[in-house]
């Protein structure tokens, strides 16, 4: 593991045909594009490299994220965009799921599930619903047709939602427990880190005494789907991201190259600390640092 020199960056550019980028902390922070992100993506496209965007944030759908990126100046299609909300939907579709899903999450997660024919209960529809504690015997009525609890970040989490999901999981061993991601924190604004989806998942692990199936990074499902769909070899793929425990670990465990950017949650001190056991192949200050090799790329580097 070392800070990338121009030679290292040039070798990576030549070696990898598919570039997989995290979003928050890597290409943008909040609503601000990181300097150089647009120009480097354009450079990759100029040389016919395949570009993909993968985020663990399940609050938005692929369509919404692609539209945000495009509005910021980086053209992105839905086919290039992968979210943990899409991963949950794709998994349920793959296993032939035909029941209802109880959602702890927001509009983007419901949108992706609905797109593959999964009928959703909860989510935004349960926003503001509370347990009636004035009753002598408070009670939450659960839809018996729920066959999966799907958990993503829910900024409107409530005790009612947790109880509903707990009843689904604790009273039905066949009910699936799917976690879009288990991120502890996320950069939802530039100034602060915020509690992530992992807090909601952890609450349900505690109450249901069950472990979920993880579908977002660092689990393999998204990269399996991406490589199979787009016919990409893992050893020709590089993951660029700012989180060691998701982005970089995801790439390492799944046979891809890795590059850590220090523009998000990981500092150089954390990366180089003796206690850190997750080591990317390369690291750079930010995505714009790749532009130092712009005039060194040989003309035969393009994928034909």
Phi, psi of 255 (to 5 degrees): 80, 20
| Tokens describing residue 44 | 């990759």
Beta bridge partners of 50: 18
For residue 119, give the DSSP letter.
Answer: E
User: Is residue 24 a contact partner of residue 55, using CB atoms and an 8 Å limit?
Assistant: yes
278-297: b or e for each residue (b if 16 or more CB lie within 10 Å)? bebbbbbebbbbbeebeeeb
242 is in an annotated binding site: yes
158-171 in b/e form (b: 16+ CB < 10 A) is bebbbbbbbbbbee
Alpha-carbon distances of 73 from 23, 159, 186, 205, rounded to whole Å: 14, 40, 23, 40
Q: Is 8 annotated as a binding residue?
A: no
Active site residues: 22, 24
Q: Residue 3 is inside which H or E element, if any? A: strand 2-3
Closest CA to 238 of 218, 217, 256, 222: 256
Three-state DSSP state, 32 = strand
Contact 215, 84 (CB under 8 A): yes
- Could you list the residues known to form a binding site for substrate, using ranges: 217
- Could you list the residues known to form a binding site, using ranges: 22, 24, 217, 242
- Could you list the residues known to form a binding site for Mg(2+), using ranges: 22, 24, 242
């Amino acid at each position: 593991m070392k800070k990338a020199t121009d030679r290292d960056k040039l070798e990576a550019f030549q070696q990898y045909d598919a570039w997989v980028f995290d979003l928050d902390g890597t290409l943008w922070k909040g609503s601000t594009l990181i300097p150089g992100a647009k120009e480097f993506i354009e450079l990759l496209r100029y040389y016919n490299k395949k570009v993909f965007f993968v985020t663990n944030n399940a609050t938005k759908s692929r369509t919404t994220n692609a539209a945000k990126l495009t509005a910021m100046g980086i053209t992105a299609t839905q086919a290039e965009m992968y979210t943990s909300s899409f991963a949950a939907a794709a998994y349920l579709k793959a296993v032939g799921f035909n029941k209802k899903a109880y959602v702890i999450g927001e509009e983007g997660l419901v949108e992706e599930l609905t797109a593959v024919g999964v009928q959703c209960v909860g989510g935004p529809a349960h926003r503001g619903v509370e347990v009636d504690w004035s009753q002598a015997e408070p009670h939450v009525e659960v839809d018996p047709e729920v066959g999966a609890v799907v958990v993503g970040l829910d900024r409107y989490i409530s005790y009612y939602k947790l109880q509903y999901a707990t009843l689904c999981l604790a009273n039905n061993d066949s009910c699936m427990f799917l976690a879009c991601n288990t991120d502890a924190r996320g950069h939802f604004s530039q100034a602060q880190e915020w509690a992530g989806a992992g807090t909601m998942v952890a609450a349900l692990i505690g109450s249901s005494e069950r472990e979920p199936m993880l579908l977002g990074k660092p689990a393999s499902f998204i990269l399996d789907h991406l490589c199979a769909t787009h016919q990409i070899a893992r050893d020709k793929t590089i993951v660029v991201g700012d989180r060691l425990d998701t982005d970089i670990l995801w790439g390492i465990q799944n046979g891809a190259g890795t590059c850590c950017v220090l523009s998000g949650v990981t500092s150089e001190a954390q990366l180089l600390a003796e206690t850190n056991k997750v080591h990317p192949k390369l690291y750079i200050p930010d995505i714009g640092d790749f532009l130092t090799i712009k005039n060194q790329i040989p003309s035969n580097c393009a994928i034909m």
